[in-house]
């Protein structure tokens, strides 16, 4: 493959954010490339062809030299004072710059420093607990014990390390006993988020219940259920629960609602990862009962060849400088053509997807049609590998949300009438059936398969189970609950 083809393929498979970074690097490394600013008239074509380089070289070079600013050494003091005023206009004040770069750090005399006002993208659960620990008065030994305990807490908020291992990891010279480790653990379990530092689910739920106000209705009963009958609750044996706790169905329902308001993974409440942004590559909208597809012009900047620098290139000049500029000009043209090719291919594929999946845009997931890469490749006259590159990490903005292009592809299942039904549509139907089921008697996989068959869709029970699991829907035995 030629270098130009390799570059076109590489740009084709980049996401929008990666492409923006690639364009920025090209702008910084190639002086022949420039960004078209807003408001400028530019059709995206390269008007500086090879034949016009030598003809426009002389006047462009002259104009460039005449407009070049004088050097610092060529200005006397009077001219220097006239050219540069005492007060230069700036975009922002020094205080703003200082605050964004340094004010996020606490000073020695800053007693009101706000930890939540930091500019970091996120914090880990360990750093969040360590910050609360620094606000708690304790001895140096207890602080070392607490830090060791915090290191043993996973991202869900549970203490994975045993207290014996934590005790053995401490310096023997500290002469720490197990009672001290347990006391420090209880102090950590009082930190936020509630339930952190627990060693199992039962302890996690009890810690959260104990931090609730004493006036909370049925609080004592909820603590008793979690402490003594959590296994029965997990198996949804409600009749046994009511018999052992000697309570009625209404009370049990209220207790379960209280327990369900707790967090089984308290550490997940602390956002530790950086935010992920999705920039749509194409935008789909409906106009006059027709679906229109257009590129997101704000996602990728438009580029052009710098007219001033391109005019300096001479055809017959074999000097090193001229050769360098000629190569940069050729690379700039290749880069622009590769971007244009990427946009054209993306538009062709997106248009065919919208044409094929108009039912989804009009009626939702249940109207999704089966679609494979070969269908689009045949429609646009490209290879399936090219379609795969185009649809990876490319997103479409529709009135129903933002979807990756790969979302619109799915396998097919035969119907009783001889037609085909998309697996995405089947998942949507299963989700709808489960949402409408009776909580006391949820639908089994066999029952769902029978309901699908009644609609003319031939799906095996194990296939229903696979689709149900992909939707994150629990089995029928775990979906049973009190009304």
Reported pTM: 0.57
Are 149 and 197 within 8 A, CB to CB?
Answer: yes
**Cβ–Cβ under 8 Å, residues 310 and 362:** no
pLDDT at 438 (0 to 100): 82
Mean pLDDT over 320-324 rounds to 83
Least confident of 44-48, 284-288, 310-314: 44-48
Beta bridge partners of 292: 285
pLDDT, one tens digit per residue, over 369-380 is 888 888 899 888
Least confident of 45-59, 146-160, 183-197: 45-59
Q: With contact defined as beta carbons under 8 Å apart, do 449 and 468 qualify? A: no
What pLDDT, in 10s, does the model give residues 4-42? 788 888 888 888 888 888 888 988 988 888 887 765 554
Return the pLDDT at 416.
59
- Whether the pLDDT of residue 313 is over 60: the answer is yes
Three state DSSP letters for the chain: CCHHHHHHHHHHCCCHHHHHHHHHHHHHHCCCEEECCCCCCCCCCCCCCHHHHHHHHHHHHHHHHHCCCCCHHHCCHHHHHHHCCCCCCCCCCHHHHHHHHHCCCCCCCCCCCCHHHCCCCCCCHHHHHHHHHHCCCCCHHHHHHHHHHHHCECCCCEECCCHHHHHHHCCHHHCCCHHHHHHHHHHHCCCCCCCCCECCHHHHHHHHHHCCCCCCCCHHHHHHHHHHCHHHHHCCCHHHHHHHHCCCHHHHHHHHHHHHCCCCCHHHHCCCCCCCCCCCCEEEEEECCEEEEEECCCCCCCEEECHHHHCCCCCCCCCHHHHHHHHHHHHHHHHHHHHHHHHHHHHHHHHHHHHHCHHHHHHCHHHCCCECHHHHHHHHCCCHHHHHHHHCCCEEEECCEEEEHHHHCECEEEECCCCEEEHHHHHHHHHHHHHCCECCECCCHHHHHHHHHHCCECCCHHHHHHHHHHCCCCCHHHHCCCC
- pLDDT score at 414: 61
Average pLDDT estimate for 182-199: 89
In this prediction, residues 444-463 reach a mean pLDDT of: 84
Give the containing element (helix H, strand E) for 285: strand 282-287
Q: Return mean pLDDT, the chain.
A: 78
Q: What pLDDT was estimated at residue 208?
A: 92
85 vs 361, higher pLDDT: 361
Q: What is the dihedral of CA 150, 101, 25, 38, to 10 degrees?
A: 130
For residue 276, the model assigns a pLDDT of: 67
Residue 17, CA distances (Å) to 14, 20, 464 in order: 8, 5, 37
Please tell me the predicted confidence (pLDDT) of residue 126.
84
Return the percentage of the chain with pLDDT > 70, whole number.
78
pLDDT (0 to 100) of residue 284: 93
pLDDT on residue 371:
86
Q: What's residue 398's pLDDT?
A: 92
| Structure-model confidence comparison of residues 271 and 326, the more confident one | 326
Element (H, E) at 397: strand 395-398
> Which two three-digit tokens encode residue 202?
């039962």
Q: What is the mean pLDDT of residues 319-331?
A: 85
Q: pLDDT value at position 412?
A: 64
Each residue's pLDDT tens digit, 118-177: 434 457 888 888 888 888 888 888 888 888 888 888 888 898 888 888 888 887 877 888
Q: In percent, how much of the chain has pLDDT > 90?
A: 9
Contact 13, 392 (CB under 8 A): yes
pLDDT at 275 over 70: no
- The per-residue pLDDT for 18 is 86
Give pLDDT, residue 206. Answer: 92
| pLDDT tens-place string over residues 74-119 | 444 444 344 444 444 444 444 444 443 333 344 444 454 444 444 3
Token pair recorded at residue 338: 């590769």
pLDDT at 72 over 50: no
Give the separation between CA 447 and CA 444, rounded to whole angstroms: 5
For the cut 90, the answer to whether the pLDDT of residue 397 exceeds it is yes
* pLDDT above 60 (res 187): yes
Which of 171-175, 200-204, 268-272, 399-403 is predicted with the least confidence, judged by mean pLDDT?
Answer: 268-272
Tokens of 246: 């000697």
């Amino acid at each position: 493959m030629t270098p130009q083809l390799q570059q076109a393929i590489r740009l084709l498979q980049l996401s929008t954010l990666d492409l923006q970074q690639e364009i920025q690097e090209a702008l910084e490394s190639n002086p022949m490339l420039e960004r078209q600013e807003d408001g400028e008239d530019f059709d995206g074509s390269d008007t500086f062809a090879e034949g016009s380089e030598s003809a426009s070289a002389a006047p462009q070079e002259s104009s460039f030299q005449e407009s070049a600013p004088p050097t610092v050494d060529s200005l006397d003091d009077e001219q220097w004072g006239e050219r540069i005023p005492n007060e230069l206009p700036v975009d922002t004040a020094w205080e703003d710059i200082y605050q964004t770069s340094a004010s996020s750090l606490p000073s020695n005399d800053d007693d009101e420093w706000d930890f939540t006002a930091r500019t970091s993208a996120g914090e880990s659960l360990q750093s969040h607990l360590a910050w609360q620990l620094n606000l708690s008065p304790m001895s140096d030994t207890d602080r070392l014990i607490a830090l060791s305990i915090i290191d043993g807490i996973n991202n869900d908020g549970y203490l994975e390390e045993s207290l014996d291992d934590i005790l053995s990891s401490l310096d023997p010279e500290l002469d720490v006993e197990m009672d001290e480790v347990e006391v420090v653990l209880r102090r950590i379990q009082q930190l936020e988020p509630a339930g952190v530092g627990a060693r199992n689910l039962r302890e996690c739920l009890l810690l959260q219940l104990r931090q609730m106000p004493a006036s909370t209705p049925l609080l004592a009963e909820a603590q008793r259920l979690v402490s003594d009958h959590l296994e029965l609750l997990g198996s949804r044996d409600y009749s046994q629960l009511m018999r052992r706790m000697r309570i009625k169905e209404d009370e049990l329902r209220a207790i379960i609602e209280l327990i369900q308001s707790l967090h089984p993974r308290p550490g997940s409440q602390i956002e530790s990862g950086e935010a992920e942004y999705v920039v749509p590559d194409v935008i789909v909208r409906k106009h006059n009962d027709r679906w229109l597809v257009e590129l997101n012009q704000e996602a990728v900047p438009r580029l052009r060849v710098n007219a001033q620098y391109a005019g300096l290139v001479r055809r017959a000049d074999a000097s090193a400088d001229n050769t360098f500029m000629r190569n940069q000009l050729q690379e700039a043209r290749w880069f622009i053509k590769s971007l244009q090719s990427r946009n054209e291919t993306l538009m062709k594929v997106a248009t065919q997807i919208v044409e094929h999946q108009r039912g989804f845009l009009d009626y939702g997931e249940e109207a999704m049609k089966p679609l494979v890469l070969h269908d689009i490749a045949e429609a646009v006259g490209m290879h399936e590998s090219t379609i795969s590159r185009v649809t990876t990490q490319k997103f479409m903005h529709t009135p129903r949300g933002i979807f990756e292009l790969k979302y619109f592809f799915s396998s097919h299942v035969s119907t009783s009438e001889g037609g085909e039904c998309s697996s995405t549509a089947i998942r949507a139907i299963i989700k709808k059936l489960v949402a409408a089921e009776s909580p006391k008697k949820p639908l089994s996989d066999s029952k769902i398969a029978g309901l699908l068959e009644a609609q003319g869709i031939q799906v095996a029970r194990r296939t229903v189970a696979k689709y149900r699991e992909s939707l994150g829907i629990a089995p029928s035995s775990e979906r049973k609950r009190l009304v």
